[in-house]
Amino acid sequence: MPSIDAMNTTATPVSPLAAPAAVARQALQLAQRVLDLAKAFAKPHDMCQANTQVARCLKALHELSSAESHLDKALGWSALIPCVDVRVDLLCELSELAVSQAEAAHGHDDPTCQGALERARTHAFEAAQLAGQTTDAHWEVKVLLRVSDVFNRCGDHDDAAQLQNRAIALLGLQPADAPAGGEPAIEDGPQQRRHS
């Protein structure tokens, strides 16, 4: 197996002024080498990261089906990682990629488009369910907004609005149980009571 140094020296240099496709292909070659190295040790985090990077390179080259395949592999490895953050991020990426595939299919009547939209909704729904288990409240807000964007792009505007409201509530800008169109409901909680 080649060493990291050997892999770095065998890459063909690309001029900064080269076409974006050439740069993307070189990035893909490097990502595939890193994936080959990660396979030798088969550590879950490394396999997730390497497959995700290959998928991103493939996405840049508009090879969306191959990119989805690598993200699916990364998602499988993420089940072996105790923290759900990696899984949630991968679900967001998969849902965004599936929506891009649906948009590329140009037509909601096309079976390819329908399948991609269903995959996008499934991944987005799971990400929204797991968002509350992430390690950081700010990360949860970002996840909810990413998933909201996916639902919007799928045409599910009501679901998107619900997730946006949930994100707003987490930011403390509106209580989670506030009425949808009016003033926030004010509860007479312990902090609002005055002692006489």
How does residue 112 score in pLDDT terms, banded at 50, 70 and 90?
Answer: confident
Contact 121, 92 (CB under 8 A): no
- Which residues lie below 8 Å from residue 166, measured CB to CB, with a gap of 6+? 144, 176
Q: Is the pLDDT of residue 189 over 50?
A: no
Count of positions (residues) in the chain: 196
Residue boundaries of the structural domains of the chain = 17-82, 83-178
Q: Is the pLDDT of residue 29 over 90?
A: yes
Across 9-35, average pLDDT: 77
Query: What is the value of pTM for the model shown?
Result: 0.77
- Greater pLDDT, 130 or 18: 130
Give the integer Cα–Cα distance in Å for 181 and 186.
15
- 91 φψ region: left (φ > 0), alpha (ψ -120 to 50), beta (else): alpha
Give the integer Cα–Cα distance in Å for 145 and 166.
9
- The confidence score (pLDDT) of residue 111 equals 84
- Mean pLDDT (the chain, rounded): 84
Give the integer Cα–Cα distance in Å for 196 and 183.
29
Across 48-77, average pLDDT: 96
- The confidence score (pLDDT) of residue 183 equals 38
